[in-house]
Amino acid sequence: MALAALSIIQDNQVLLCLASDGRDNTEAAGAVADASVAARAKVLNLEPEKFLANNDSFTFFESLGESIITGPTGANVSDFFVMLQQ
């Protein structure tokens, strides 16, 4: 979700996406997406659409230092998404 949002996220928005069990099919629990992440990706020639097509958000956000690593939480309730807008 965070990777897909990068193409439409506004300068005044931040999106946090997390899996409650501390893993989202990798060791990462999730990622943060905002306009600065999109801008840094552009500078590094990381194209979100290509990573999205390969179902590889982990490598994308790991390359930018935006992966959230919590370790196992012992709870698998649901996914957690927060959008903040200023």
Domains of the chain listed by start with CATH number: 2-85 (3.40.1480.10)
Sheet of 30-34, strands arranged across: 67-68, 30-34, 13-19, 79-85
* Better-scored residue on pLDDT, 21 or 71: 71
pLDDT at residue 18 in the model: 85
Q: What is the pLDDT of residues 10-54, one digit of tens each?
A: 999 999 998 766 666 677 888 999 999 999 999 999 999 999 999
* Better-scored residue on pLDDT, 71 or 42: 42
pLDDT at residue 3 in the model: 94
| Angle of CA points 29, 34, 38, to nearest 5° | 100
pLDDT at 72 over 70: yes
